[in-house]
Amino acid sequence: MRTTLIIAALATASVLTGCNSGDDAATEEAASEYTPRKYMQAINDISRLDDVEQDESRKPGELLAFAQIDRGDVVGDYIMGGGYVTRLLAMAVGREGKVYAFQPEEFIAFSPDYGPQQDETVRRYSDDEGNPVNVFALRAPLTQPGWPEPLDTIITVMNFHDLYLPNFPEGTAQEAADMLYASLKPGGTLVVVDHHATEGAGAEAADTLHRMDSALAMETLTSAGFELEEESDLYSRPDDPRTANVFDDPIRGSTDQFAWRLRKPG
């Protein structure tokens, strides 16, 4: 895809208005601006054509609205996987914003396809000489992404449970949570979406079912200093018994998931 198309599309994206934190009325009015409709250009980005078939279940507009992404934001996609969220963020932040797409070295070692998928995503938002325009690749150890600057928002989708896998050293989850907290600007936000495990399932569910015990996740995040600002039922699917592996055919793509927006005080 040619740079001129990308830059032209980025230039035409609409501006989201900010809020005045000192005025309750203004805050409520600004919050109402975060609707899926505001992100239609990001959703319809031609660089996302391969993602459209996932949109019904992954609700991209609703996710961006819940995350309250603004043009000009500096955002990290923590554990980017195939790049679905990275590509969504690229247009949402506009050419004046930045997206740091982090792919852990451990994940690439486990599944080598993650490397080319990261390269391809960044290529879509690069100029004709291959220089990134507003999406930048990061590869490093799981708990040391090396973000080049403080971030407004970090998003991690369906990967927080991976921090509890027995492949990683004990304490990895807390180390990662502490890192995410330190990486945000004061007042910055962390958005976490993951598959629900049954209540009290503990860390074992991450390994056996690829699900997250939400109480364990919240304990880890609040221990790092995060405060829960909002919980959404965006991906609530009550019919999921939360006992099947998320990759099992009958449940894949239709798991019950929690969605949190947590804030670093400041």
SS (H, E, C) 20-39: CCCCHHHHHHHHCCCCHHHH
The band of 148, judged by pLDDT with boundaries at 50, 70 and 90, is very high
For residues 165-188, give the mean pLDDT: 97
Average pLDDT taken over every residue of the chain: 91
Q: Is the pLDDT of residue 15 over 50?
A: no
Coil vs helix vs strand at 61: helix
* pLDDT single digits (tens) 92-144: 999 999 999 999 999 999 999 999 999 999 999 999 999 999 999 999 999 99
CA distances from 226 to 167, 171, 189, 220 (A): 26, 17, 9, 9
Q: Is the pLDDT of residue 11 over 50?
A: no
The number of folded domains in the chain is 1
Give the chain's radius of gyration (CA, Å). Answer: 18
Number of other CB atoms surrounding residue 257 within 10 Å: 25
Q: Is the pLDDT of residue 5 over 90?
A: no
Q: Token pair of 246, please?
A: 């998320």
User: How many residues are there in the chain?
Assistant: 266
More confident residue, 29 or 113: 113
**Domain CATH code at residue 148:** 3.40.50.150
For residues 2-16, give the mean pLDDT: 40
**Predicted local distance difference test score (pLDDT) of residue 95:** 92
Q: Is the pLDDT of residue 165 over 70?
A: yes
Q: Are strands 74-78 and 184-195 parallel, antiparallel or unpaired?
A: unpaired
Number of other CB atoms surrounding residue 238 within 10 Å: 7
**Predicted local distance difference test score (pLDDT) of residue 29:** 52
Contact present, 16 and 153 (Cβ < 8 Å): no
Q: Are strands 98-104 and 184-195 parallel, antiparallel or unpaired?
A: unpaired
Listed residue (263, 140, 117) closest to 192, CA to CA: 263
For residues 33-57, give the mean pLDDT: 95
Q: Is the pLDDT of residue 70 over 70?
A: yes
The pLDDT > 70 percentage for the chain reads: 88
Q: Is the pLDDT of residue 246 over 70?
A: yes
Alpha helices in the chain (DSSP H): 3-12, 24-31, 40-43, 55-58, 60-67, 84-93, 105-110, 114-124, 172-183, 204-208, 214-224
For residues 68-97, give the mean pLDDT: 97
**Predicted local distance difference test score (pLDDT) of residue 42:** 96
Q: Is the pLDDT of residue 25 over 90?
A: no
The band of 215, judged by pLDDT with boundaries at 50, 70 and 90, is very high
CA distances from 151 to 16, 127, 155, 158 (A): 18, 24, 11, 20
Q: Give residue 148's domain range.
A: 3-263
The band of 22, judged by pLDDT with boundaries at 50, 70 and 90, is low
Biggest alpha carbon distance in the chain?
52
Coil vs helix vs strand at 196: strand
CA distances from 144 to 88, 181, 187 (A): 24, 12, 21
> d(Cα 40, Cα 38) in Å, to the nearest integer?
6
